[in-house]
Structure 1
């Protein structure tokens, strides 16, 4: 059953995909500046066959930006690929969509409700086209454990051939003022098996400026060790930041004791760089595969909270000798940075 499908029309009424005419090679700039998108809360990037598919929270629809040069994302027009029905349980507050390719099909996971936040749940749509900006998106249903509690910020990952779903939720049915991270096993890309398991909740002081753990993202190093990067404290504060869990070698993702939480945040605000509340991130590789990059949102000024001032920024990160990610600190906006390696024509 197909619900809320729209044609893949550009959001600004123009061509479906805007490709600027490249300047002569001699004029190609090897640098860019942050932010790359001025209004881009909850940014997500999926990299497939040398193409970057980017999306962020739009609230009333799901759209995709398609580009082979992510530093130039601001020059690309988005394509609306799905619009919700006018009413019902997934008609309003479309938050933090994530695009994934699983078994030769595309899946968009997103949070939505009926206009009442306490009814937020996770949902998924599917597209079998080779290109997610075209074709038909079919509504597959709600992604839920047997407990069916409040849920946002869902993501999927494969571990040793088994698919898992991780999200942020409430322990009960009413807003407790606290969000935890939950995980569950999946039988297919739209079905959870059994009930959820809580693997993280705010325990350190830096997670308690607003008792929130949300925005989980899986990151692997070259040895295939598993890290879970998440957003901590409230997005309405300047102290929204990133924390990290590490899965024990050979550990069971469904066993909370096999996830080790780092006692300090791994990415925090930098006021002198106009980076307040940096968080809700994802990751990508440079076009030539030699560099690791983080994409995240942050506010340029203090006190701007969870609104449309959250802009999308990208920066390269490194790895420690022990194999853990080292994100450094948010880079200064409006300052030239080298573009991802391989993006510039030599």
Structure 2
């Protein structure tokens, strides 16, 4: 009798433990593979440049709207730059050279020292823009002292700006924009080898591109702001084109990393802009970008500026509201970067990659949710993970290129529909994000109003289904990236 009582008590205790475990909240999936930030990173900061250093810090500089100083921030994360204190490391001269139009600073670490490249005009001619360099040997460039190393001399004493630098196959190059005598453009993009120091070029100068296409010549004939992305055995050089209003956009040149980069024939120009205004997401005139890497070093991140309105009063150069923004760079099957569209303000979107068919992504096609590879346009497969429309600790998946449209279930089918604000829609478009049913490092999405049913792919379509076996668990698991 006593033994039976003990067994009963143990059974009750075991049942209580099991019940407790079963009712514990399931942890959310790890977001280690998802690069997510909140835009904008900085208001009234144009021509942004972010450099990740080996000391664990990101360094951020940009053009200020007063055009009178160079500022620098640092933080251990890209998002941290949004609230990091800002220090003025250099101010314009009171007269003469470097006394006006302090533009487009970039910070680089070369041979154990810090360098800032920037453009500046003169007090007696503010449009006599030339390129200059600062140097610091301090470990922390934010608090260190800076020395002026003077002007970068190029073959022509003409309007020049937007110097940047990169190394390929052991050779350091300078790239920049300049107005070349005899060519009726505002600026073209050039490349040359660096010489004995980081403010001197040597040897031949090569003109890489001249703005001739319609999207490069709106308002002004401009190719400026070159930036380099080195991936997949190639050099991708982006540049900004047209006037600095809503027409501003990015073009791209591509060369094999093994090619002679000083041979213009090594480079191929994309026939269309690779990044441009998107009225649907409310982003206008994206451009003057740079590239950095995510905190885990696994993803490239594009840094750029734009405005959140189209119409500008007066000269765009006098409008102070260009903002610094960031978003992840994706790659096509051939290794070419796909920048997508400038995403809406707020949290940056992710893609839902199938766990068991890793070359395929959830995307919308005529508003139906499908699973496909090689999605074009990229934004059809991007979703913002936002607080659930129905609340209660849920999430909703908002379309990146159709803001206000959400992934929701209709008769167990998944569609991307515009929210009508009603209770039914809010419930249909809300999910509990759980650790992946097939992998805790991924994610699964359980319906709020139909518990036990998950977002799951089947025969190329995405539906809401119950999960009862290993196949179902794999079909209902997605990697956020």
Matched residue, 2:51? 46
Structure 1 window deviating more from structure 2 (272-281 vs 178-187): it is: 178-187
**Structure 1 position 147, deviation (Å):** 2.3
Structure 1 window deviating more from structure 2 (29-38 vs 258-267): it is: 29-38
Alpha carbons 1:317, 1:327 under 8 Å: kept? yes
> Pick from 140, 144, 147: which aligns with 2:149?
140
Matched residue, 1:55? 61
How many residues in Structure 1 have an aligned counterpart in Structure 2? 309
Alpha carbons 1:147, 1:195 under 8 Å: kept? no
Alpha carbons 1:39, 1:308 under 8 Å: kept? yes
Alpha carbons 2:36, 2:347 under 8 Å: kept? no
> Pick from 159, 171, 174: which aligns with 1:150?
159
Alpha carbons 1:93, 1:113 under 8 Å: kept? yes
Alpha carbons 2:100, 2:126 under 8 Å: kept? no
Matched residue, 1:261? 269
User: Is the radius of gyration larger for structure 1 or structure 2?
Assistant: 2
Structure 1 window deviating more from structure 2 (268-277 vs 109-118): it is: 109-118
Partner secondary structure for residue 216 of structure 1: strand
Task: Structure 1: give runs of 5+ residues left out of the alignment.
Answer: 1-28, 340-346
Pairwise mapping of residues 83-162 of structure 1 onto structure 2 (< 5 A)? Answer: 83-115=91-123, 116-162=125-171
Q: TM-score, normalised by structure 1?
A: 0.84
**Structure 1 position 88, deviation (Å):** 1.4
Matched residue, 1:172? 181
Q: CA offsets, 1:246-291, max 9 Å, x none? A: 1135221211111110111111111121110001111111111122
Structure 1 window deviating more from structure 2 (209-218 vs 327-336): it is: 327-336
> Pick from 275, 279, 290: which aligns with 1:282?
290
Q: Which has the higher contact order (CA 8 A, sep 6+)?
A: 1
Q: Does 1:315 align with 2:327?
A: yes
Alpha carbons 2:233, 2:257 under 8 Å: kept? no
Distance, in Å, in 2 between the alignment partners of 1:317 and 1:185 is 28
Matched residue, 1:206? 215
Structure-2 change in CA distance of 1:92 and 1:118 (3 Å):
closer
**Structure 1 position 195, deviation (Å):** 5.3
Which structure has more helix as a fraction of its residues? 2
Distance, in Å, in 2 between the alignment partners of 1:308 and 1:255 is 38
Partner secondary structure for residue 63 of structure 2: coil
Q: TM-score, normalised by structure 2?
A: 0.61
Distance, in Å, in 1 between the alignment partners of 2:256 and 2:202 is 23
> Pick from 307, 324, 330: which aligns with 2:342?
330
Structure 1 window deviating more from structure 2 (57-66 vs 301-310): it is: 301-310
Pairwise mapping of residues 19-34 of structure 1 onto structure 2 (< 5 A)? Answer: 32-34=37-39
**Structure 1 position 68, deviation (Å):** 1.0
Matched residue, 1:217? 227
**Structure 1 position 245, deviation (Å):** 0.2
Matched residue, 1:5? none
> Pick from 44, 69, 77: which aligns with 1:69?
77
Distance, in Å, in 1 between the alignment partners of 2:135 and 2:37 is 34
Partner secondary structure for residue 266 of structure 1: coil
> Pick from 193, 199, 213: which aligns with 1:190?
199
Q: What CA RMSD, in Å, does the superposition of the two structures yield over aligned residues?
A: 2.2
Structure-2 change in CA distance of 1:51 and 1:268 (3 Å):
same
Matched residue, 1:36? 41
Distance, in Å, in 2 between the alignment partners of 1:261 and 1:71 is 33
Distance, in Å, in 2 between the alignment partners of 1:192 and 1:207 is 27
Q: CA offsets, 1:60-113, max 9 Å, x none? A: 111101111212322112111112321111121110000000001100000001
Q: CA offsets, 1:194-232, max 9 Å, x none? A: 4532110112211110211000001011x3421101111
Partner secondary structure for residue 262 of structure 2: coil
Distance, in Å, in 2 between the alignment partners of 1:194 and 1:149 is 19
Distance, in Å, in 1 between the alignment partners of 2:228 and 2:168 is 10
Q: CA offsets, 1:110-159, max 9 Å, x none? A: 00011424411000011111211122211111111232322011101112
Alpha carbons 1:145, 1:184 under 8 Å: kept? no
Distance, in Å, in 2 between the alignment partners of 1:238 and 1:270 is 9
Q: Does 1:252 align with 2:252?
A: no
